[in-house]
């Protein structure tokens, strides 16, 4: 007789992993907040041919985020990527995932494979031989290489640890490979120890945390880094050079746009792909009076700037998020946002140069 578990066809019933906060053994506090209340989005100036696109951007001011921290009582095994725990009965529990349908689907797909079922049974059979950690937490994130998500989601977990006597923080080794990651974690770790799991590890009563962009988080990260770029009179154009491109990643440098940059003496800035420290990135924006950029993680550095400062952010309809709009308002910057319906063959945004000229002439010059 053929062992069903060895078949390439999935014959076991589907499994729907739940999040840690839905677990009966979770003990902790949670808080609902609008990320940047009481700041009013009317403080920003938005340009779009479509009122629907503008409203799609502003809906971020109405979305409630939930920040949580607490203990998951019992004994669990954490897998190497730090995204799943397995309890003593073999139930998978989701941690360190943003609450969104797409990521929930990722957890479902990861656990409903033959390899996962076989490996889980192996872990259950060898449970007591796995390394054991007490007073620990597991930090990870599916977008850990993204500067924005790392800053305002992953790193905020350290802020939430202050109420717990955590000695060991389990972090996948793959996360600590970029300079900005090393920079931030080195400042936030304190007297805790980082544990790099080379395989599954057991944890007793692990601390679990979850955070998103918030005004409190913005103030915390500014205090943690303790680095500021002074305001001045310089004008910067931030160019994106991601390792993986997507539509709307950059502004198309048409002859008309290049002439605009030259007329207003914009200096080009390229933050690279994580090889620069945060202090180096902030230094690149020293003396900023105007920052023009496509929407992207490089604008995370707005968190370390000071007014007076004008932000001009461009969007394509492919990616709309008010993350940096909210940061700009919170820090007292003047903000202009452009939602473009037009892209070139490479997917780069075709900017509204006449409107950019008008902003520079009537507001900034």
Q: What is the mean pLDDT of residues 221-226?
A: 95
Domain boundary among 155, 188, 223: 223
Q: Does residue 210 belong to any structural domain of this protein?
A: yes
Q: What is the pLDDT of residue 356?
A: 95
Same structural domain for residues 120 and 29? yes
Phi, psi of 317 (to 5 degrees): -75, -10
How many Å apart are CA 201 and CA 171, to the nearest integer?
A: 11
Q: 194-215, pLDDT tens digit by residue? A: 999 989 999 999 999 999 899 9
Q: Does residue 50 belong to any structural domain of this protein?
A: no
State yes or no: pLDDT of 98 exceeds 90.
no
Q: What is the pLDDT of residue 39?
A: 78
Same structural domain for residues 215 and 253? no
Same structural domain for residues 75 and 200? yes
State yes or no: pLDDT of 1 exceeds 60.
no
Q: How far is CA 228 from the centre of its chain?
A: 21
Same structural domain for residues 338 and 211? no
Same structural domain for residues 241 and 154? no
Eight-class DSSP state of 191 = T
Q: How many CB atoms lie within 10 A of CB 16?
A: 11
Q: Looking at residue 301, which CATH number applies to its domain?
A: 3.40.50
Same structural domain for residues 208 and 98? yes
Q: Does residue 8 belong to any structural domain of this protein?
A: no
Q: Does residue 127 belong to any structural domain of this protein?
A: yes
Same structural domain for residues 200 and 256? no
- Beta strand extents in 153-299 (DSSP E only): 168-170, 193-195, 201-204, 207-210, 231-239, 266-270, 288-294
Q: Does residue 54 belong to any structural domain of this protein?
A: no
How many Å apart are CA 233 and CA 16, to the nearest integer?
A: 55
Q: How many CB atoms lie within 10 A of CB 87?
A: 16
The answer to whether 36 touches 215, Cβ cutoff 8 Å, is yes
Question: Helices marked H in 94-188 — which ranges?
Answer: 101-111, 114-125, 147-149, 156-160, 179-188
How many Å apart are CA 37 and CA 292, to the nearest integer?
A: 25
Same structural domain for residues 26 and 166? yes
Domain boundary among 223, 254, 289: 223
Q: Give how many domains the chain has, as a whole number.
A: 2
Same structural domain for residues 156 and 244? no
Same structural domain for residues 188 and 172? yes
Q: Does residue 56 belong to any structural domain of this protein?
A: no
State yes or no: pLDDT of 168 exceeds 60.
yes
Q: What is the pLDDT of residue 244?
A: 55
State yes or no: pLDDT of 331 exceeds 50.
yes
State yes or no: pLDDT of 7 exceeds 60.
no
Q: 127-156, pLDDT tens digit by residue? A: 999 999 999 999 999 999 999 999 999 999
How many Å apart are CA 231 and CA 253, to the nearest integer?
A: 26
Q: Does residue 58 belong to any structural domain of this protein?
A: no
pLDDT band at 346 (very low <50, low <70, confident <90, very high): confident
> Which domain range does residue 347 map to?
228-364
State yes or no: pLDDT of 107 exceeds 90.
no
The answer to whether 116 touches 42, Cβ cutoff 8 Å, is no
> CA dist 230 to 147, 198, 306, Å?
22, 43, 6
Domain boundary among 169, 200, 223: 223
State yes or no: pLDDT of 347 exceeds 70.
yes
Same structural domain for residues 262 and 166? no
Same structural domain for residues 283 and 251? yes
pLDDT band at 20 (very low <50, low <70, confident <90, very high): very high
Rg over alpha carbons for the chain, rounded to the nearest Å, is 23
Strands 84-87, 75-78: pairing is: antiparallel
How many Å apart are CA 147 and CA 109, to the nearest integer?
A: 26
The answer to whether 130 touches 175, Cβ cutoff 8 Å, is no
Q: Does residue 130 belong to any structural domain of this protein?
A: yes
State yes or no: pLDDT of 61 exceeds 90.
no
Q: What is the pLDDT of residue 2?
A: 37
Q: What is the mean pLDDT of residues 155-160?
A: 95
Q: What is the pLDDT of residue 295?
A: 94
| Least confident piece of the model among 27-36, 112-121, 148-157, 263-272 | 27-36
Percentage of the chain exceeding pLDDT 70: 92
Prediction pTM value: 0.92
């Amino acid at each position: 007789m053929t062992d069903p578990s060895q078949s390439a066809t999935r014959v076991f019933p589907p499994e729907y992993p739940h999040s840690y906060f839905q677990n009966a053994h979770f003990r902790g506090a949670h808080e609902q907040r609008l990320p940047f209340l009481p700041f009013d989005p009317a403080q920003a100036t938005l340009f779009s041919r479509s009122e629907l696109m503008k409203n799609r951007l502003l809906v971020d001011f109405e979305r409630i985020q939930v920040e949580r921290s607490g203990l998951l009582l019992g004994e669990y095994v954490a897998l190497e990527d730090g995204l799943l725990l397995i309890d003593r009965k073999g139930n998978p529990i989701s941690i360190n995932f943003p609450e969104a349908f797409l990521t929930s689907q990722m957890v479902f797909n990861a656990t409903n494979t033959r390899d996962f079922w076989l490996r889980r049974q192996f872990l259950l059979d060898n449970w007591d031989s796995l390394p054991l950690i007490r007073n620990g937490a597991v930090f990870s994130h599916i977008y850990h290489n993204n500067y924005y998500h790392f800053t305002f989601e992953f790193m905020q977990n350290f802020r939430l640890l202050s109420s717990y006597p955590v000695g060991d923080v389990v972090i996948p080794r793959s996360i600590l490979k970029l300079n900005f990651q090393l920079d931030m974690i080195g400042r936030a770790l304190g007297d805790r120890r980082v544990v790099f799991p080379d395989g599954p590890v057991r944890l007793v009563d692990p601390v679990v945390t979850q955070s998103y962009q918030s005004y409190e988080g913005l103030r915390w990260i500014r205090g943690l880094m303790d680095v500021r770029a002074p305001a001045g009179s310089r004008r910067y154009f931030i160019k994106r050079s991601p390792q993986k491109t997507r539509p709307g990643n950059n502004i198309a440098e048409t002859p008309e746009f290049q002439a605009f940059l030259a007329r207003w003496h914009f200096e080009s800035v390229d933050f690279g792909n994580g090889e620069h420290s945060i202090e180096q990135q902030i230094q690149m924006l020293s003396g900023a009076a105007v920052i023009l950029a496509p929407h992207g993680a490089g604008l995370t550095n707005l968190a370390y700037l000071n007014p007076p400062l004008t932000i001009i952010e461009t969007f394509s309809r492919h990616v709309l998020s008010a993350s940096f709009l909210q940061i700009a308002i919170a820090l007292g910057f003047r903000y202009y946002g452009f939602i473009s319906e037009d892209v070139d063959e490479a997917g780069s945004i075709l900017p509204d140069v006449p409107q950019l000229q008008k902003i520079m002439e009537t507001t900034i010059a």
